[in-house]
Amino acid sequence: MSHTPPQAAGGPLAGLRVMEIASMAPAPFACTLLADLGAEVLRFDRASDVDPETNHSTDPLARGRRSIALDLKHPEGAALVRRLAGHADVLLDKIGLHAQDTAELFFDSVRVPAANLLGTEGRGFVHLMERLPRERMSIAVWAQCVTETALEQTLEYCTGRAAFGKPVADFQHSRFLLAELTTQADVTRVYVDRAIEALKDGTLTAVDAAKAKWWATELQTKTVDRCLQLHGDYGYMAEYPIGRAYLDARIQTIYSGTTEIMKEISGRSLATSGKAGR
């Protein structure tokens, strides 16, 4: 095992400890940025990625980071990672959305000057809830865009890929499935567009935003899953966009309110309006 000493601490993130495992790190640029801002980034490399003469990582993005070369498959290497992880503030490791970094930050005994206060003191959660419909609409739009893109890519793939002597798109199952998915995408697009207009006019309700969010994201996960199936084993390869879209889609029905919570919001409003009508 070899390592290089960390650079001198400094910057607004001095004291922050970040772990980056080279074979799993989703966002190397993010780790570089954190290091440049003063964080101590502990990078795990394969031994072949470290210059034996200088013990420095050969990765051009490794500036400002300590580099440790070890075999993660070896029991001692795995044990070291687990031990160091207990002392790290941030561990970047997601199954999808590798193009964006996710960090867990802790602020202990931090004082915020009155001049830097956002909103009303003590009403942070209320302000957050007030903006949730807008956030959920942004996710619904994202889901719709991914759904339509996945269908376009899959249609192109199925018309160009031959199986048993004819294009995949010529099989009845493929045509029926694509017809079903495109119909659902077209119908969802109308609802999402209407919700966007309501958001623009300031009339979008929390219930309508919840409906758009859960329906569009559930359709996204279903569409991407079926499109990957039509790609066959190629769809399981990370080099194909549909494979990456499959991993990225899974979080869509979870963050900013799970599908179950979205249905609860919608269902509760129906129960309330039903009682009011009696």
What is the token pair recorded at 247?
């991993």
The residue that leads in pLDDT, 34 or 64, is 34
DSSP state of 23: T
Question: What is the per-residue pLDDT across 143-152, written as a single tens digit (0 to 9) for each?
Answer: 999 999 999 9
Question: What is the per-residue pLDDT across 204-263, written as a single tens digit (0 to 9) for each?
Answer: 999 999 999 999 999 999 999 999 999 999 999 988 999 999 999 999 999 999 999 999
For residue 162, the cross-strand partners are 167
Topology of domain 2-110 in CATH is Rossmann fold (3.40.50)
Report the C-alpha gap between 127 and 222 in whole angstroms.
33
Q: Kindly report the pTM of this predicted structure.
A: 0.66
User: Average pLDDT in the 130-157 region?
Assistant: 95
Let me know if 135 is a catalytic residue: yes
Q: Which single residue is written with the structure tokens 């569409």?
A: 223
Which residue out of 40, 130, 135, 239 is catalytically annotated?
Answer: 135
Q: Measuring CA to CA, which residue among 56, 7, 74 is closest to residue 35? A: 7
* pLDDT score of 94: 82
Question: What is the per-residue pLDDT across 88-123, written as a single tens digit (0 to 9) for each?
Answer: 555 557 888 877 767 666 777 888 888 888 888 888
CA distances, 213 to each of 2, 93, 177, 180, 263 (Å)? 48, 26, 23, 20, 10
Q: Residues in the chain, how many?
A: 278
Domain 124-269: give its CATH architecture.
Up-down Bundle (1.20)
For residue 169, the cross-strand partners are none
* pLDDT score of 59: 54
Domain borders along the chain are 2-110, 124-269
Q: Contact at 8 Å (CB) between 192 and 141? A: yes
